[in-house]
Amino acid sequence: MAVKVIIPTPLRPYAGKQESIELQAGSVAEALVALTTRFSELKKHLYSDDGRLRSFVNIYVNDEDIRYLQKEKTSLREGDTVSIVPSIAGGSHIA
């Protein structure tokens, strides 16, 4: 399926400075593999060392959070839009 992946501003320098990427994928997992294969520098920002999506990386399919669908197994249809949406977190040293 031809789908569009929307790249958030902080990751565009690692994706050829593009706002969106068109690629072929049948699921969210396939889309992310295709994306990080084409732009390998994206991988360390999307995945932690244990290979899981980082907790502050949110993936939406047509405005629906994949955590409420079938997560990375969520299937994609022709023309779907996959958005990588940041959440922001941090905090001080104090316990």
Partner 1 sequence: MSGVLLKICDGLLHRIGAHGVETYPHECCGALLGRDGDDAREVLELVPLENRRKDSPRNRFEVTPDDVHLAEKIAREKQMELIGWYHSHPDAPARPSEFDREHAWPWYSYIIVSVQQREPRDTTSWRLRDDRSAYDSETIESAAHSATR
* For partner 1, the closer CB: 4 or 45: 45
Q: Contact at 8 Å (CB) between 75 and 2?
A: no
Shortest spacing between CB 8 and partner 1, in angstroms: 8
How far is Cα 66 from Cα 41, in angstroms, rounded to an integer? 23
Which of 6, 37, 41 minimizes the C-alpha distance to 21? 6
Tell me how far, at minimum, the Cβ of 51 lies from partner 1, in Å: 15
Closer CB to partner 1, 2 or 85, in the complex: 85
Binding site for partner 1 (CB under 8 A): 8-14, 41, 44-45, 55-56, 58, 60, 65, 85-95
d(CA 95, CA 88): 20
- Indicate the residue among 42 and 76 with the shorter CB distance to partner 1: 42
